[in-house]
Amino acid sequence: MTAPAPAIHVLTGPTAVGKTETALRWAEKNDAEIISCDSVCVYRGMDIGSAKPTPEEQRRVRHHGLDLVDPSERYSVSQYVEMARTAIAAAHGRGKRVLVTGGSGFYLAAFFGPVTDELEIPRAITDEVRTLQRQGLASLLLRLREIEGQELPGWLDIQNPIRIAKALERRLASGRTLDSLRDEFLTRRGPFADHPVACELLERPDEELKARIAARTATMLHDGIIEESERLLALNLDPELTSSRAVGYRAVMDWLEGGKRVAVSGLAERINLDTWALVRKQRKWFRRLGLAKEAD
């Protein structure tokens, strides 16, 4: 008889809500290992701006999913799923429970349903789409509408260049409509469908969360996010990489490239605003995944 798949415990919530310390306490109490669910923490050298668990915190509990690739590399949700599967099996083999924690929506979605398909994208199509990405969102949308029609599906986030690029790749590679591709995709089993999944969503009132964001921004500026961002700029990153667009880092890199024309206090305000925009996006993911109620 095949042994049942181990349970997965998920602790999520918006950025700055307090997931790290809550996760550490839960893992220590329940003899668990932690799998990060953060699309920026996978990058080496992006420690302060991502609020990556510190070396001391990592010594308290074994972590997985941190420092996997350099900022100049791409890291896909498929790679994340494979990492998580390996980590879960290894932890289970050591007699440990597993806690997934973080707030990156696309990674988080992998524990609740399908996130990838098996469609192979020819290199020529990948090259074409990346060329359009460099030209901007408008070029991507123009090309997609040429083959899909002017009325794009309502479920497609037309403000998100990454989503539009992925949709265009699949539309070109398959020759099928986006609705057809999505309908087939939704019938697939998720990569962790065999695992019992329990989830806890942490939240705080808006004003309290905004105060925590401001305090964290001040700490990041004091601790060295500017120096980390200078190192990222020196890498001349592809602007479409997650590392290049990461909240906090993007604001600092823009500030550095603009000649520091505003005071650090102005930079802090930009980071706070960008972080709050991320919170709103994360909350949409939580509602989409059924982890939170729709806003009134």
Dihedral pair phi/psi, residue 218, rounded to 5°: -60, -40
Res 23: pLDDT: 98
Q: Which residues face 10 on adjacent strands?
A: 100, 199
Side-by-side strand order, sheet with 63-64: 63-64, 32-36, 97-101, 8-12, 197-201
Per the CB < 8 A criterion, the answer to whether 65 and 40 are in contact is no
Alpha carbons 289 and 37: distance in angstroms, whole number: 15
pLDDT tens, residue by residue, 178-187? 999 999 988 8
Q: Which two tokens stand for residue 112?
A: 């609740």
Per the CB < 8 A criterion, the answer to whether 139 and 132 are in contact is yes
Record the pTM.
Answer: 0.88
Average pLDDT over residues 78-88: 97
- For helices 161-174 and 137-148, the axis angle rounded to 10 degrees is 30
Q: Which residues face 98 on adjacent strands?
A: 33
Res 296: pLDDT: 43
The end-to-end CA distance of the chain, in Å, is 48
């901007």: which residue's tokens? 136
pLDDT tens, residue by residue, 244-257? 999 999 999 999 99
* Domains of the chain with CATH codes: 8-116+191-201 (3.40.50.300), 123-185 (1.10.20), 206-283 (1.10.287.890)
**Which of 256, 237, 46 shows the shortest CA–CA distance to 134?**
237
How many residues are recorded in the chain? 296
Average pLDDT over residues 162-170: 92
Share of the chain above pLDDT 70, in %: 98
